[in-house]
Structure 1
Amino acid sequence: MTSNPLAVHEFDPFADASTGNESSSQTGVIHIRIQQRNGRKTLTTVQGIADDYDKKKIVRICKKEFACNGTVVDHPEYGEVLQLQGDQRNNISEFLLKVGIAKKDHIKLHGF
């Protein structure tokens, strides 16, 4: 009988961890950065979008709307990161607000 309550106690931290993930996805900050490439070429990266959203669909829509190329890269530290060609910081922030993926308080623009 004592082993069953231990199993229940072991289950509780996992339940807390899953609720922690949900709250972090709602209150998580989305970082939009720009990286300098060769010459005048730049790369815009978007990190922190919740796992609830399909990042490949977001990139596909952004590629059409912003007339640029893009991809989803799996970063070992930051998880899945969106990469878009060019300086798309303002475009992607307006898009995330318009679609409702993030609130204005949760978006941080970095760079120049």
Structure 2
Amino acid sequence: MGVAMLAEVPLRYSIFMSEIDIQYPNTFDPFADATAEDSGAGTKDYIHVRVQQRNGRKSLTTVQGLNKEFSYNKILKDLKKEFCCNGTVVQDPELGQVIQLQGDQRKNVSTFLVQAGIVKKDQIKIHGF
């Protein structure tokens, strides 16, 4: 009786395996939505505040995605005066105009932009370590 049961087991599995439809993966890119959101300047009206490590303990804070109707130079002047740091406005071919500040000013910049009424708090994305 035990031998007959063992003979039936592979037969059941072979029938079961033949009934399965094999589906091959389509050309689906799971990161397509994420790269489309974060790629361009001003996409979905997000302001991206990033920190970049320079040499040693030096770092650089970048602000991208501000509305083009704002004067970047005036915002930069206020940021420099408020945080006692140096900065510049850089023209990037992909990202448009980007504000660069010396030091890690991510929290300072985000609170400044909200308090000045330039953006809302939920429109700011802070990146970095």
TM-score with structure 1 setting the length:
0.76
Q: Is 1:67 the equivalent of 2:93? A: no
Q: Is 1:36 the equivalent of 2:57? A: no
Query: How many aligned positions are there?
Result: 88
Q: 1:81 aligns with which of 98, 116, 129?
A: 98
- What is the SS of the residue equivalent to 2:128? coil
Q: RCO (CA 8 Å, sep 6+): is it higher in 1 or 2?
A: 1
Q: Is 1:97 the equivalent of 2:101? A: no
- What is the SS of the residue equivalent to 1:111? coil
Query: What do you get for the CA RMSD once the two structures are aligned?
Result: 1.3
Deviation at 1:76, TM superposition (A): 0.5
Q: 1:55 aligns with which of 50, 57, 72?
A: 72
More helix by share: 1
Pair member with larger Rg? 2
- What is the SS of the residue equivalent to 1:93? helix
Counterpart of 1:66, as a letter, is F
Distance in 2 of aligned mates of 1:75 and 1:43: 16
- What is the SS of the residue equivalent to 1:39? coil
Please list every run of 5 or more consecutive structure 1 residues that lacks an aligned counterpart in the other structure: 1-23
Distance in 1 of aligned mates of 2:83 and 2:75: 12
Instruction: Tell me which stretches of 4 or more aligned residues in structure 1 moved more than 2 Å.
Output: none
| Per-residue CA distance 1:48-67 (angstroms, 9 max, x = gap) | 00001000000011101000
In the alignment, which residue of structure 2 is the partner of 1:46? Answer: 63
In the alignment, which residue of structure 2 is the partner of 1:8? Answer: none
Counterpart of 1:108, as a letter, is K
- What is the SS of the residue equivalent to 1:95? helix
State percent identity of aligned pairs. 60
